[in-house]
């Protein structure tokens, strides 16, 4: 794994990211704004549930699809 490899956003995880979790906090973000967390296979469900129970989760997309749709690399918001 190189220094360029996107890593999972789960606390303490150093695994390569496979998923992009796009989210938005409607109390502080405009409706079209998308913040992102990255997730490995192991943490995708946990991070999705964390965002989902708060009503923040908007989309879960494979990282390779996210990169091909938008830009060479996704934003790395935490």
Binning pLDDT at 50, 70 and 90, where does residue 69 land? confident
What does each C-alpha distance from 10 to 16, 30, 56 come to in angstroms?
11, 25, 16
- 77 has pLDDT over 60: no
Strand partners, 37: 21
pLDDT for residue 32: 93
Instruction: For 15-56, write each residue's pLDDT tens digit.
Output: 999 999 999 999 999 999 999 999 999 999 999 999 999 999
Q: What is the DSSP letter of 26?
A: T
């Amino acid at each position: 794994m190189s220094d360029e490899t996107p890593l999972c956003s789960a606390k303490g995880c150093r695994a390569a990211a496979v998923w992009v979790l796009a989210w938005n906090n409607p109390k502080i973000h405009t409706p079209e704004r998308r913040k992102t967390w990255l997730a490995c296979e192991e943490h995708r469900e946990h991070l999705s549930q964390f965002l989902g129970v708060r009503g923040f989760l908007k989309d879960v997309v494979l990282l390779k699809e996210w990169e091909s749709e938008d830009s060479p690399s996704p934003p790395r918001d935490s």
